[in-house]
């Protein structure tokens, strides 16, 4: 018995964020606030 995974890891890209991804996150956070860090990249479009 274990925890349910927090997200779908298929197609997961590991490594540093690109400047374009950084800007998407900055724009999203400025508009909507950070909320949940686990759902932030998905909601911001990354």
How many residues in the chain? 46
Alpha-carbon distance 25 to 19, whole Å?
Answer: 10
Reference 43, options 31, 14, 9, 20; nearest CA is 31
Most confident of 4-13, 17-26, 27-36: 17-26
Q: Which two tokens stand for residue 41?
A: 């990249």
pLDDT reported for residue 36: 73
10-27 pLDDT, tens digit per residue, is 666 778 888 998 898 888
Most confident of 11-15, 17-21, 30-34, 38-42: 17-21
| pTM for the full predicted model | 0.51
């Amino acid at each position: 018995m274990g925890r349910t995974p927090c997200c779908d890891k298929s197609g997961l890209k590991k490594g540093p964020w690109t400047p374009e991804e950084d800007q998407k996150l900055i724009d999203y956070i400025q508009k909507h606030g950070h909320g949940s860090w686990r759902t932030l990249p998905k909601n911001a479009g990354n």
